[in-house]
Structure 1
Amino acid sequence: MIRPIVKDPLFLQQISQPATQADLTLANDLVDTLEAHKDACVGLAANMIGVQKRVIVIRLGLFPLVLFNPVLKDKKGPYQAEEGCLSLAGTRTTTRYREIVVAYYDRHWQKQEITLTDFPAQICQHELDHLEGILI
């Protein structure tokens, strides 16, 4: 189901709670909402659709990847990036890393690990910040 985008900074600045298997259906709402905003959006965190759970979706090429309880394990190559967000007006500068390693649970609640580089890594870092209540 397509959900409205939350723009309330007080809500978005709260730290998200761990997801459980009971939250697996949240993946569908995140993917549907991402698709509805595909012209302006490449990733979403659950709190952006009103759910304070540690779940994100990022677009990898044509396919969305949903990550439950993602944890940043490693990062390399810091650089400055200019980013925007559906939840905020304008753009802001922030530090990102060119390569990251993230551990997470997939839609089948299987433990996974992925290495992301360049723009996909940047997208993932932006969404990971949302889970920590960090707004760019």
Structure 2
Amino acid sequence: MVKEIMKDLLFLGQKAETATKEDIAIAKDLLDTLAAHKEHCVGMAANMIGERRAIIAIAEGNELTAMLNPVIVKKSPRTYKTTEGCLSIPGEREVERHEWVEVKYRDINWNREKRKFTGFEAEIIQHELDHLEGKLV
């Protein structure tokens, strides 16, 4: 189900709680909401739809991927500066990102996954993980 985008900065500033298998429905709502905004959005965190759970969704080309309890286990030593915007917060902000990240997470079927992401997908994941930490980016 497509959900309304959360814009309350106090809510968005709270750290996410660990997702459980029962939160897969939230992950599906997050994927639906990302799909509805795909023309101008490439990633979302669950707090952006009003859910304080550690769940993100990203666009990988035409594919949408949900990650429950994502954690970066390795990251590139090299970083770069870029400017990012967000559906929940007006404007753009400068941030520093790693060139690649390796992430472990549960997929939409609650299977364990571990993948390396580079380039723009790595940037999207880092942005969404900031949301899960309550960082307003």
Give 1:66-85 correspondences, 5 Å limit. 66-76=66-76, 77-85=78-86
Letter paired with 1:94: V
How far is the alpha carbon of 1:110 from its aligned partner? Answer: 1.1
Specify the alignment match of 2:91 in structure 1.
90
> Equivalents in 2 of 1:135, 1:74: separation in Å?
23
> Equivalents in 2 of 1:86, 1:108: separation in Å?
27
Specify the alignment match of 1:28 in structure 2.
28
Aligned residues: 136
Specify the alignment match of 2:130 in structure 1.
129
Unmatched 5+ stretches in structure 1: none
After TM superposition, the runs of 4+ consecutive aligned structure 1 residues lying more than 6 A away are: none
| Identical columns (%) | 46
1:77-123 alpha-carbon deviations (Å, 9 max, x no partner): 21001000000111010010111000000111111101000100000
SS in 2 for 1:73: strand
Letter paired with 1:78: T
SS in 1 for 2:136: coil
Specify the alignment match of 1:117 in structure 2.
118
> Equivalents in 2 of 1:110, 1:2: separation in Å?
24
**RMSD after superposition:** 0.6
TM-score by length of 1: 0.98
> Equivalents in 2 of 1:78, 1:51: separation in Å?
30
> Equivalents in 2 of 1:24, 1:118: separation in Å?
27
**1:8 equivalent in alignment to 2:8:** yes
> Equivalents in 2 of 1:34, 1:66: separation in Å?
10
SS in 2 for 1:25: helix
TM-score by length of 2: 0.97
> Equivalents in 2 of 1:118, 1:26: separation in Å?
27
Unmatched 5+ stretches in structure 2: none
Specify the alignment match of 1:38 in structure 2.
38
> Equivalents in 2 of 1:134, 1:114: separation in Å?
24
> Equivalents in 1 of 2:61, 2:40: separation in Å?
15
How far is the alpha carbon of 1:55 from its aligned partner? Answer: 0.3
Larger strand fraction of residues: 1
